[in-house]
Amino acid sequence: MKGFWITFTDGTQGYCEGDSDYDAKVIAEKLTGKKVGGGEWKDFTMKSLPYPASPIIWQLDHPVNGKCPAFCFEPRKCQGKTSCPQRYACTE
């Protein structure tokens, strides 16, 4: 599963996981009833996130490991990154 920070047309944002960006988009829209971004696939705002962040729209609940905690405290700053850009982890 990959994680994404999603912006909806009403300006709200949240974290959602999916097998792909399209999968996460469909899941987020289905669960929230909101439209992602500008309405067309090429215009929506959705960027990868290295760790889960709050609010969580949907996240895989792994049968052995459970859910990964929301480690990312600055998703607007970290979105689009493949790893945490902080010198020290936000949890320290």
Q: Kindly tell me if the per-residue pLDDT of 78 is higher than 90.
A: no
pLDDT recorded at residue 46: 87
Tens of pLDDT, residues 11-61: 899 999 999 999 999 999 999 999 998 645 444 588 999 899 999 999 999
pLDDT band per the 50, 70, 90 thresholds, residue 65: very high
Burial per residue of 5-39, b for 16 or more beta-carbon CB atoms within 10 angstroms, e otherwise: bbbbeeeebbbbbbeebeebbebbbeebeeebbee
pLDDT recorded at residue 92: 55
pLDDT recorded at residue 89: 61
- The span from the first CA to the last CA of the chain, in angstroms, equals 26
Q: Kindly tell me if the per-residue pLDDT of 87 is higher than 50.
A: yes
Mean pLDDT of all residues in 63-90: 84
Q: How far is CA 82 from the centre of its chain?
A: 12
Extents of the domains making up the chain: 2-78
pTM, to two decimals: 0.85
